Amino acid sequence: MIPIAIRLHPGQDILAELESIAELQEYEAACILTCAGSLTKACLRLANCNEATELHGHFEIVSLTGTLSRHGSHLHIAIADGQGKTIGAHLLAGSAVYTTAEIVIGILPDMRFLRTMDTQTGFPELDIQTIVKE
């Protein structure tokens, strides 16, 4: 695993920035190792819901986890409000950084993460492939 660290700045969209990095750097497979930061806007898809939920305020990022690839990503986030109330969900585009998002990504050089339609779930699910080097 090859670790890299990035810092996102106020107003940046976490998901858009991570997907842009994966595309520009041509990441075949990566994962989020850790993230500390804050949001002023959270765009989430809650469990078993089809529509987005948008939250506004000041939130601490207490967890960001998932898989990242130029072929598609799947990220979950947990955020806490000023009273410590925490909510976790699927991260959607539009979640804006408040002060910072300090993210460490692990690059997996011998793997490729694709998104393949799964007839059982009806969603494009993780398709893990091993890259054979000659």
pLDDT tens, per residue, the chain with 134 residues: 999 999 999 999 999 999 999 999 999 999 999 999 999 999 999 999 999 999 999 999 999 999 999 999 999 999 999 999 999 999 999 999 999 999 999 999 999 999 999 999 998 999 999 998 77
What domains appear along the chain, each with residue ranges and CATH number?
Answer: 2-130 (3.30.1330.80)
- Token code pair at residue 104: 């460490």
- Token code pair at residue 21: 């990095």
Is the alpha carbon torsion for 75, 55, 86, 49 positive or negative?
negative
Give me the residues paired with residue 101 across strands: 8, 37
83 contacts: CB under 8 Å, gap ≥ 6 = none
- pTM score, two decimals? 0.93
